[in-house]
Amino acid sequence: MKESYKVLLSGVVQGVGFRYYVYRKAKKYEISGYVKNLSDGRVEIVASGDRDMLNSFLEEVKRGPMMARIKNAEIHPANDPGIEGFIIE
């Protein structure tokens, strides 16, 4: 079953390779959507995929790359972003 989520991550999540980390994980788990930096210092992810693959993807994303320090992860149901593949904005 396909699901979609919007994820907002705060902490030390910009300038540490976070978007590229998310991109690699999305490819690994066959997730479609996007990741982008927000002007307030957070990272936004909209991801869509098979429920089990999406859950595995989200677990890895919440850990982040080695240099990241995630203080808060908000995860909300979302509409499918309608994007083929996964992009970095």
The per-residue pLDDT for range 40-83, each reduced to its tens digit, is 999 999 999 999 999 999 999 999 999 999 999 999 999 888 88
Please give the Cα distance from 27 to 37 (Å, whole number). Answer: 19
Q: pTM of the entire structure?
A: 0.94
Identified catalytic residue from 37, 42, 63, 79: 37
Q: Clarify whether 42 is annotated catalytic.
A: no
In the chain the domains, ranked by start, together with CATH numbers, are 2-83 (3.30.70.100)
- Answer yes or no: 37 catalytic: yes
Find the catalytic residue in 19, 63, 72, 79.
Answer: 19
Report the candidate in 54, 57, 34, 32 with the shortest Cα–Cα distance to residue 44. Answer: 34
